[in-house]
Amino acid sequence: MEGLPDPRTDGELLVATVADPHAFAIFYRRHVRGVLSFFRRRVESPELAFDLTAETFAAALEAAPRYEPRPEPARGWLYGIAWNKLHEARQRGQADDAVRRHLGMAPIALSDEGIARIEALAGGRVLQLLDGLPAEQREAVRARVLDERSYEEIAAELRCSPSVVRQRVSRGMRAIRSRLKEAEL
Amino acid sequence: VNDDPILALERELVGAARRHIAAQGRADSGPRPRAGGRRLRGLPSPLRAAALVALVLIPVAAVAIALTLPRASRPAAAPSPGSGPVGGASPAVAQAGPAPLASLVSELAVLRRPQTAADRDPRALALALLRHMPGISARLSRIRLAALAPWGAKVVLAPVNRQLLIIVGGSVQGAPLDSMIRTWGGEALAPLSGGRATGVVLVVPDGVTQVALRITRGGKAWTERAPVHDNVATVRLPVAANAAGAARITWYRADGTVVKRTPPPPPKPQAHPGPSLFSELAVLRRRQSAADLSLTEPPHAPRTEAFVGMPDRASARLAEVSAWGARVYLMLYWPPTTRVTDALPPRLRAAARRQAPRQPTLWILSSGGQGQEIGTAQTVADGQALAMSGGGPGNRSFRLTMVVPDGVTTVGFAAPGGNGSGFSAKAAVRDNVATLQVQAPPDRPAITWYRADGTVIRRIPAATG
């Protein structure tokens, strides 16, 4: 994660994976947060979200030699795999680990700190707290913090001034921080 | 137990990738295939199979990455009747064991001609690359600059141990002599233009003067031809390496007769089942915004979920403000879980199991939560994801909403008909949705999908009756 970002596209990294394991590591770092969040929003536990994330990247690694670059970004390809893994997990009632076993990957046991890290990365606990905010604050925090949109853009959509949006975001974040602290006590 | 599972997972993935590459390396140095790499087929792992269908890849430090492809693993075709020295090489000879260098030299005139100053120049490059490989003894006198590829790379041939290395630009690829020359020649592939094109280098025996590559991609097939000089043909293909590697190759003699032709490749194993809504629709892949969450969730009774599936609020997307001013949302519904179905009274369970979707389905919803199921990923891909509704009491207009896959930018609707019911109109696509309002209830109209440049992607005929 150090140094300059790798200039290669996702597709180029997947193609390079055939000979360079580091290329897949870069691809993984780019997308692990997004994939983890994708699962965390859709499953009940951080453990299951992590399991599905691991299986998704393992499947992507396994399929990399067959990856064919297309005009659309490789992100869609990765999320297509994630989608299928989620679908399978819902049908089976549990995450599969067939690809990881096949690749000889060791199971990763999670400590409490590890689960907290997953939650922090996927925003699971924060998302729960976010849902508990009043609607105005929730929308403002989502748009600003999760979607990284400008205050002006959000203000135009919500038909209020940017300073009102700032105030809602500030109040919402303060409430989330305070509830997180309460939970830690 | 890991405090940082994200990092631990990265280590495991990198380790798995390393093992895969090492396995590939072992395959390089292991016993020779009895016939053209045939032993590589039938391996259980898709990963290993995908790796081993490639020719031998020799990764070299500080050189660019190169891909190798499955020519060596192709089943050998029967020699053509009346073929020359190449076509006449019988499978029995190929199975007898590794061919000595002398045999290779006897089949490649480029290795027999005197070494020139131009050949000696790339020798330095070859040596620099080979230095990284232990146990290698290169035949320096046999190194040849065989071609300058159309994409600017020098093609150098270097017999090394029992391999002929093909050095293309900064990458090295090679194959055992026996499988290479006596079956399908040598081949090296270089990804170009970010992987969207591929430089193909083919090494062919004496007597072959032209090669033809039959490429198939996306239902389109065409042939590229290239002349042979110094036993090497080079061609730049506008396709990715996978498609280039799957091309059918024909070797021709000077009189136009065929020396050899590769059989059709076996069908590739499917990486993942069918299209998914996620891969078909960019609108579902973009980040969810506050506007997307303005959807009022449809008022489903718990029992309803057992019949229509379970709404996935995280997938809700505001796709379009329709031609009639209403917000159009898309949302996915998952097939009901066993727990949901089992919660029904016994008399309803069988009916729910019959009716419930078995795949994720896509719904079109309005701001108020009213909606209708539009189908599965296959429905979208097939051009059948069309909703039609009336304009409401006292309103004679009819409303069409179509969900289209990525790449479609305009949808043309056309309905022939008398009594004022015929129409023809185009609607722009926004976030995979196109809407149109017409003034009479049509039958399902004929539909045409257009790309951004105006070309037609697909025509879907009108439904009749």
Partner A, chain B 125-184, Cβ-Cβ below 8 Å: none
pLDDT at A93: 74
A157: left (phi over 0), alpha (psi -120 to 50) or beta: alpha
Classified as helix, coil or strand, B316 is strand
pLDDT at B147: 87
* Among A139-148, B23-32, B144-153, B398-407, the least confident range: B23-32
C-alpha to C-alpha distances, B264 to A111, B213, B214, B216, B341, nearest whole angstrom = 52, 12, 10, 11, 47
Contact in structure between B192 and B151 (CB atoms under 8 Å): yes
pLDDT at A28: 92
Contact in structure between B154 and B143 (CB atoms under 8 Å): no
- Both tokens of B39, joined, read 């032993």
Distance CA B384, CA B362 (A): 12
% of chain B with per-residue pLDDT over 90? 6
Distance CA A177, CA B59 (A): 50
Distance CA B156, CA B172 (A): 9
pLDDT at A183: 53
pLDDT > 70? residue B167: yes
CA distance A185 to chain B (A): 21
Contact in structure between A92 and A52 (CB atoms under 8 Å): no
pLDDT at B27: 45
pLDDT at B34: 29
Distance CA B195, CA B310 (A): 40
pLDDT > 80? residue B45: no
Highest mean pLDDT among B53-67, B109-123, B352-366: B352-366
* Among B33-47, B199-213, B330-344, B346-360, the least confident range: B33-47
pLDDT > 60? residue B56: no
Distance CA B89, CA B251 (A): 14
pLDDT at B179: 46
pLDDT at B227: 92
pLDDT at B123: 54
- Report H helices in B181-270: 241-245
Residues of chain A with pLDDT under 50: 1-3, 184-185
Partner B, chain A 132-171, Cβ-Cβ below 8 Å: 139-140, 142-143, 146-147, 149, 154, 157-158
Distance CA B2, CA A171 (A): 35
Any CB–CB contact under 8 A between A101 and chain B? no
Amino acid of residue B301: A
Q: Is the Cβ pair A111, B8 closer than 8 Å?
A: no
% of chain B with per-residue pLDDT over 70? 62
pLDDT at A163: 92
Contact in structure between B318 and B291 (CB atoms under 8 Å): yes
The ipTM value here is: 0.71
pLDDT at B286: 78
Q: Is the Cβ pair B65, A108 closer than 8 Å?
A: no
Summarize the confidence of residues B244-255 as an average pLDDT: 82
pLDDT at A159: 84
Average pLDDT taken over every residue of chain B? 68
Q: Is the Cβ pair A142, B289 closer than 8 Å?
A: yes
pTM above 0.90, yes or no: no
Partner B, chain A 2-21, Cβ-Cβ below 8 Å: 9, 11-12, 15-21
B176: β partners: B163
pLDDT > 60? residue B39: no
Distance CA B435, CA B460 (A): 16
Task: Name the residue with higher pLDDT: B78 or B144.
Answer: B144
- Both tokens of B101, joined, read 């260098």
pLDDT at B311: 80
pLDDT at B82: 27
pLDDT at B103: 67
pLDDT > 50? residue B273: no
